[in-house]
Structure 1
Amino acid sequence: MSHKKHASAFFGVLLAFSFSAFAQKDSLFNAAENFHQENKPLEAVEAYKNIGRYFESIQDYDSAFHFYRIEGEYIKEHIEKPTRDSLLGKVYMDFSFVALGMRNLDMALPYLDSAEFIYEKLKSYGDLARVMNNRANALNEMNRFQEAIGYLLKAIEYGELVENKESEDALLNSVYNNIGKNYLSLEDWSNAAKYTQMAINIHSSYEINNAHARLNLSNAYIGMDSTELAIQAALEAEEIYKEVGFAYGIIAAKNNIGLALKNQGNWEEASKLFEESILMSEEVNYPLGKLEAMINRSPILASNGQFVKAISEMKEAEELCLLYDDNQYLKSVQENLAELYEKTGNTSLALTYFKSFKALDDSLKSSENVKNVNDLLLRYESSEKEKQLAKQEAEIQTQNATLAIKNSQLAYLLSGLGILILGGTFFYSRNRSLQKEALQQAVIEEKEKGLDAVIQATEEERKRISKDLHDGIGQQLAALKLGLQNIQKRAGQDIQPELMEITGRFSKSADEIRQISHQMMPRALMEAGLVQASEDLLRNTFQYSDIHYEFEHHGMEERLDERIEISIYRVLQELLTNILKHSQANHVNIQLLKLKNKLTLLVEDNGQGISNENSKGHGQMNIRNRLDLIKGTVNYEPGSENGLLAIITVPLD
């Protein structure tokens, strides 16, 4: 039995900086301050970035996020466009790296959306390729393999538009390596070896990426039981990791070599390497390195009769898997525990863990996932072959134009037939599973229709009441106020104070009616759209408070579907009310971003966060109900200053 997860899946989100380079972090703080004092803004930005990367390299993600935030604020204040936009894109990328390092994948995706928006505007194809690459990393970790491959193919398309050969090679090296990682997740070892070898064949100027590719190739060879090749690739990776001073990579390479030796039957040497990996992981505070070593060492401990220690380590490993939300490792832990309990005679627990292992294994390694990924890559490879054929045909055309045309027609005919066959096979295989899902989906849709009907009826009633208030009692109050003002002009001085008081009360009542009408259904939302309505809502919510706010919006030139606009407005209304009542904040930042087929709303305050009581109240239920109807999601994260960041995402297609 062998266990191996694609180790560089985690390394893909870490940066290639040596620990020794940041041994004196005080010098980084001094550098940032000095550059600021000397009015060297670009150097100061780089210094803040390096501080963030230092903390990222030691997995102090809160501090990393904090200094990237400082970097972003500094850029906004001191750098002019278009350089400012380009630098802010890199900050968003760094935020996504931190989120990926924290294994908070839902948090990473909106930051990548922001980076993509900026780089699309700047036509920065190399940066767009990196965004797609990082998005694929996140989706791969979420086991959304087909989507990940789609973004990797987009990364290749953008990479081919990069004019600098060195940059293009570095991008393609990373993309092919990530495709290989996808296949490692699916345990399709031959395709994993194929694409990681393609990555190795394209040398990257970032040496750490060359090491990652060799480590992944080692993983693939381990899966194929090619132990000598696995050891060779891991040794090559280890050498590069040592050169760049990347401790996590050295640990992973040792684990790979140990696993290959164990598979050869050299358990004594393997056990020594696993012990080294555990000790080194504890020294540099790398829990995942320790986790992998414990998983691999478990059968060796069992063979020596050390069942208590083996079970204890696997229970610790299980907790780490749950902490990092890592199902790939968890699958291996469950398999180990099933075998350990079976060997110790605890058949009940053995059966429990075996069932859990089998269910998880089936979900991670389904033939449907493999087929979907293969289909996408087949289309890409067919496209690449067609490009090569077109080039060859152009050269032959001068010699034999007629033959070239016939060959071209035949090629297109065969290509169309192949796509038709693939499509038919795909839809046939999908048909049975779709039928099983149909009943469950019907039940869900009925529930959604019921909730939708309630909310739609509520909104229609809001519109009616708002109109009645505005056109009915609101108009009457306004008319009465004018009448009183006319009487006041003709009345004597002795009753002027009373008339002024009555007029003031009418004005206050009219304002309250107008405010209620606006809250029921703001005219700005119906007439001008979500941006104008949001600006009015922010102004009206915070005008009598000590809370300052910033509102930014991008890509919101066109109106959205009315249901989406109303739902997002109500969600924002609920969030702002919570901030006003409970947060004790003095600053709020709101961003509304439309990027291609996705709408993202970010609401961040610097208050006291969200309590358990507030997280389960009616307001939160209303938010989720609203978002469910438009297929939206909401996630809450700690803000940059101990407050709360709400991330709302809504698909627009």
Structure 2
Amino acid sequence: MISQHDFRQNVSIFENSLKIEFKVVIKSFVKLNKLFILWLIFVPGLLFSSSKNDSLLQVYNKHHSDTIGLNALHEYARNLQYEDFDSTYKTNVLLSNLCFSNLFEKKNLTARERYINIYFLGNTYNSQSIYFMEKGDYVKSLELLEKSIQWWSLAYKDYLESYKNEIYLGLSSSYSNKGSAEDYLGDFAMAMDSYTKALRLNDFVKRNCDSSLLNFVLNSEAITSFNIAMIFENMGEVNKSQKQYSKALELFTALTKLKDERVVVTGFLGTSNVLTALGKIYFKKEEYSVSIGYYNRALQIINSLNLKYNNRFNTEYADILTQLGIQYKKTQNYNRALELFDKALTIRRELGNKRLISISLNNISSLYYNMGKYKESLLASAESWKLAEEAKVPQQKIKASEGMADSYEKLGNYKEALIWHKVFKEVTDSLTDQESIKNASTIEARYQSEKNENDLKLLNAEKRLAEQKIIQQKADMASFQIKMWSAIILSLMIILSALITIFAIRQRHKRILKEKLLEEEKNRLRTVIDMQEKERTRIARDLHDGIGQLLSAASINFGMLGKTSQIMESESELFSSSMKILNDACTELRSISHEMMPRSLQDAGLSTALNELVVRSFKNTSIEAEFEILGALERLPQLVENGLFRICQELIGNIIKHSGASEVIIQLYKTSNEWILRVEDNGRGIISADTENGIGIKNIKARVSVLNGSLNYENGPEKGLITSVKIPIYGQN
């Protein structure tokens, strides 16, 4: 979206200047009888007005400068725009004067009333600019458009939130017309900037407006798209121009199908303009039959509009005649081309548009030149130059000055030819047209030869030397620029490569450091676990070989004592109880010793040890446990077997203590690259946060990490928990 600076720049200066401008307007405006001014303005328009316009005038006479009266006057001006262009302009001038008067004379305006007056000022200045654009006074048109944009900017400053779509649509229209005036004056860059602003504003309104504004949005978008296409064509961008014309044609065709008559007229008129432009493009491609087809379609549309609106569209009619004349000139049918050019010139003289008259005269001049009628060509170019100078149209000044130079040369007046070639070069403000420079040099040589042949030789020699010097300077400058930019690019590449290398080295160092820290942590855990296993083994051996042997001996002695000694009946029960306690102690001691380091794990391997662990752990519980070995499983490295056994031991303990399960399935199997321990129960499901932070789970995670494995928990299909431990086969020492 266009920045607020584009809208608000100079607004404060503008507000201060309004009072000064108002005083000048009011002094002349108040002195006149308002009814007399109204009669003077509307009499020409009444010749064409309908009953609707009569009603609008009655409303205005009744309400005058209040909101209702201003709306009626504005609507009246819009109705006149296709019937009486001069009356439309005068009505808009009156409307702007009334709004000035309201803003600076009436002190009790509401916010809404003040906005309406500002809105009409932005709108009427925009409409007045179109009047001067039709007359060929593009400088005056630009002045009015700047005022229009300033008023819209003031509305933007004070009323944006309440009337955003109306303000943006008004600004879009003003910027679009501003682009047209700048285009006519040859300032393509400024014109494209103005058109771009108009399209951006239009896009915003299209996204946010309701159906009541959509017709006007489409109308504005179609006109702006057509204008941009013309810019591309003037800049020589044929493909972009043709693509933009096609887009504009779609938009204008859509407008012709709407119900608003003014929008429909714009649609037909725009369609005709696009067809004409496309005819011109195909003419340049030398596809003359296609080109004529486009021109004839455009003529049909303009003829129907002229019949309905009293020749209001003679400007467009003359444009199409001109394009057809150019086509006949190209095919060397000079008489038919001259007939069409003369008809277009007659219409344009009636319209009074100096720019268009200048264009017709340049076309006629070029045609006379081709026909060998150099005097007639000179007269046409001279009149064209005068009108182009008055209208400030540089493109036509270039053509007129070139036509005069060429005609004078053919007539043998080399002095005047040289003068006009110099004028031509000054207007174009460019030394890139080598053909024009060559022509000017030839004419200057002929003129100088009449005075002194030696001076001509000296002049040519100096000129060649100067040209060679300029060429050498340009070559040196180009070489210097290439070397400078090469050095800059090379330096930037070296700096960028150095930065990338430094960054990569730092990232690599960080990665290595992180890997070392992880490896050290694993080594530390591995050492701790190894120490734990050794300590378990030592304690289990001590329990089995020490206390276990003593308890076994005591149990044997107790048994022998019971057989050899006579025990009193009163002590018999105590003896039996003590014997049972001693046997239970032996059994418990063996159980503890097996849990700390089962002999079967060392002798028979993980499968047997896990099977014994499952049977022993769930023997005295209500849980039904099942242990499965899937496939053949050879002995695993001692570190892996110890790790998986301890992990399974911890998981079984958690199930017994926390799960509330009634069934457990434990599976051990091997894939191509992993050993997998899978424990599934039908208990409560996913582990809680407290259990997650428990010592048992931490031990499991530590052992899995030491083995470079992975641990995963997930809920069962219906209920319970599935725990999977995966240990990679490769990389285990």
TM-score band by shorter chain is 0.3 to 0.5
Which structure has more RCO (C-alpha within 8 Å, separation ≥ 6)?
Answer: 1
Q: Which protein shows a greater Rg?
A: 2
The TM-score with structure 2 as length reference comes to 0.42
